[in-house]
Structure 1
């Protein structure tokens, strides 16, 4: 039996934590010390990027926090506005680094202190990008020597660097012990490919290739997201993930709000903000989030305002609505069937055009009617991807 001792379990008071396998250990610690949650994030995150790579053929990356992705993406070229929104204008990046910039750009607040996961060998442009961000752990199949040396300097030499065998195939049966009771099931090895678009149930039935890629990104992301969950995607990346909610409409509202904020960050007024010298990247992200959020306390208002050279005028409700009308051709995926039409009614407000969901709800007719009313194209995948 091969094992790795961990700093502690789920919480610091939970000691005697370890990772072990009965065969060859597929993962190595190249730098730093790992905790139980570090391994949960890393193992889930790597499965996600490996599967995205297999499904799309593109370099893939994810930003993980608390066993759910804050964002995920495959390589797709960035336009100038998005590059500026991600703070990477005029920076040379490999396709893998662009994928990570997109993944982290989904929800920059949630990606603070993330687990960064990569499908391919980490190169120096990835390492240089991570050097500017607050990240706690990285997992990848391999690293160039120069990238490894850069990453080892993060967090005063304590940055956790994991290397994982990309060809490792786990046993078909997985086990989990909860409250002293061991649960056992077949591992969820369902492959998600373009066959999920075979059963289109709406009047409109054309899904362009770019939207099919976005739907695959969204659905594969949900396979490794705490359920209930829904995901919005555009241009090869997630733009809003609603995870771990007890009702699907709350998942949709949460994901839609994140997608709206992602789009509002590209408003000219947001892109042209001037910040005080010495303000950190974290403070910049928090300030933009505060500027976008009308529902915060006066103390929070004062905090974000202190980050600016000159406080920009906030977007009015009508200005936000006008800008959000320009968000179109968005893809939406659900990890299970949609029980009510309210999910699509809310998704339509955030530019959703293409939908993939499990189907087979007793209210399928109502959900299909909503999709048709909003001019959406919707497919029933027949696949449920709950993840707990």
Structure 2
């Protein structure tokens, strides 16, 4: 079958960007008849472009407040008829059905209506019926019909018609049809998710869930060069505004698979703090965390925790990065893979232009920690959970102190900082902190005592007079004894072990204050 020339076009769009120019080119350059519905027809006609109202085609008025206008055999017959099928064409002729060669449709803005806080009835009225029906009919018959859903494709479609005597090519029509089915699938998924919330309540884990994701980029490779990879954004993510997935990259090479993982870990960690903070991550592990009234000081002290590991890592800031911060990074001669922050000053961007390989990402703001659903894949399935956050730190006054010695006010503030930082270290996690900066961390070990030994070794003399956090309870006193032996004066942990009394007794023996939070923060 030869590629058909476009002679009749049906237009019905919510997004009217470029529709007048598209209609004018079709009529003036190719002699097409443009058929259109209500609001779209009005816009086209007011621009002086000839347009045939849809009810002239159907011989039936638009009715029921526009609910019924294109659901008619003279529309769908003109879209679905196989042009090389004599029987189809004979039936069309018998019933006065003329062929439609192109459909230009985009759908009612259902998701925007929901996001606006509209009431139930308004949302129902913004469920498009005729639009998806026309799109599906045209896409099913892509051998004969071109279907266009996005204003950004108008120019390319016109260029192809100009190059082919007014015809579209089969490969193009097939790709446009695929886009239609992806679009209608996502649209129906959004409606189903919203309807489920309305009728079943905001169930965090419904019986079925449609994940709507869009590929943002192909990646050079995955964790290792022999693994292929890509990055997708979640179209249903409520916190997209200030998220990593929607951050603006100002410079640097494309993000890699491992870059995304590390930056995500750093960004999740730094968002725990209300005061200016810096988190440096290497291989998904925080190697420096600091909270300070001054962002430059926060960076310097985070870097001091482990300068060796910080080299080649990624950094996150919860405040805009200015030239003073960049100067401090340059003075440390620190090579940085990526930096993520709410903003970068113009001076900071100009300074980093001298290091074009460094990736700079701005989010435009900082979402609160937690509050979303996260997914992790296993073979043949997905694990789904609420994202973790140290929400209980806001009520630290409710934490219990089972030891004879109570933490001082300064120690308690330090323990809150350490507890937030420890959450981002791989389990089993031990973190030692001093003056609101991490000085030693051990994590990812099969047993907690080894994590404590690693943290103490890294902290060295700084462990004396410091505090420590353990992401889960001590199953034995040995891990605690390592910390106390290094000079730690206070420890925060969830509590809840069958050997809590043994650990409490060890703390009392050594004059160490211990705080129970009642919350665990494993990070596997």
Bin for the TM-score computed over the shorter chain: 0.7 to 0.9
Instruction: Note if 1:69 corresponds to 2:286.
Output: yes
Q: Which residues in structure 2 correspond to 1:241-280 (within 5 Å)?
A: 241-260=441-460, 263=462
Aligned residue among 458, 463, 467 for 1:331: 467
Name the residue aligned to 2:265.
Answer: 44
Matched position secondary structure for 1:221? helix
Matched position secondary structure for 1:52? coil
Instruction: Note if 1:30 corresponds to 2:250.
Output: yes
CA distance in 2, matches of 1:190, 1:171: 11
Contact 2:390 2:420 in 1 (8 A): no
CA distance in 2, matches of 1:344, 1:149: 48
CA distance in 1, matches of 2:371, 2:413: 29
Change in CA separation of 1:44 and 1:366 when aligned onto 2, cut-off 3 Å: same
> Structure 1 stretches (4+) deviating beyond 4 angstroms?
none
Change in CA separation of 1:190 and 1:62 when aligned onto 2, cut-off 3 Å: closer
Output the TM-score relative to the length of structure 2.
0.55
Deviation at 1:7, TM superposition (A): 3.0
Provide structure 1 residue ranges, at least 5 long, that are not aligned to the other structure.
77-94, 264-326
Name the residue aligned to 2:338.
Answer: 137
Structure whose alpha-carbon radius of gyration is higher: 2
Name the residue aligned to 1:152.
Answer: 353
CA distance in 1, matches of 2:413, 2:220: 39
Name the residue aligned to 1:205.
Answer: 406
Which moved further from structure 2: 145-154 or 329-338? 145-154
Deviation at 1:363, TM superposition (A): 0.6
Contact 2:215 2:230 in 1 (8 A): no
CA distance in 1, matches of 2:470, 2:286: 15
Q: Which residues in structure 2 correspond to 1:286-365 (within 5 Å)?
A: 328-365=464-501
CA distance in 2, matches of 1:18, 1:333: 34
Matched position secondary structure for 2:216? strand
Name the residue aligned to 1:4.
Answer: 216
Deviation at 1:152, TM superposition (A): 2.7
* Residues 215-236 of structure 1: per-residue CA shift (max 9 Å, x gap): 1221111211111111000011
Q: Which residues in structure 2 correspond to 1:100-179 (within 5 Å)?
A: 100-131=299-330, 132-154=333-355, 157-168=356-367, 172-179=372-379
Change in CA separation of 1:40 and 1:121 when aligned onto 2, cut-off 3 Å: same
Instruction: Note if 1:97 corresponds to 2:97.
Output: no
Bigger share in helix: 2
Deviation at 1:194, TM superposition (A): 5.1
Name the residue aligned to 1:289.
Answer: none
CA distance in 1, matches of 2:434, 2:394: 17
Name the residue aligned to 1:222.
Answer: 422
Change in CA separation of 1:152 and 1:7 when aligned onto 2, cut-off 3 Å: farther
* Residues 61-111 of structure 1: per-residue CA shift (max 9 Å, x gap): 0110111100100116xxxxxxxxxxxxxxxxxx11110111111111221
Q: Tell me the matched-pair count.
A: 299
CA distance in 2, matches of 1:171, 1:235: 29
Matched position secondary structure for 2:453? helix
Contact 1:50 1:166 in 2 (8 A): no
Contact 1:3 1:21 in 2 (8 A): no
Which moved further from structure 2: 107-116 or 170-179? 170-179
CA distance in 1, matches of 2:232, 2:371: 15
Provide structure 2 residue ranges, at least 5 long, that are not aligned to the other structure.
1-212
Contact 2:271 2:367 in 1 (8 A): no
Name the residue aligned to 2:395.
Answer: 195
Name the residue aligned to 1:385.
Answer: 521
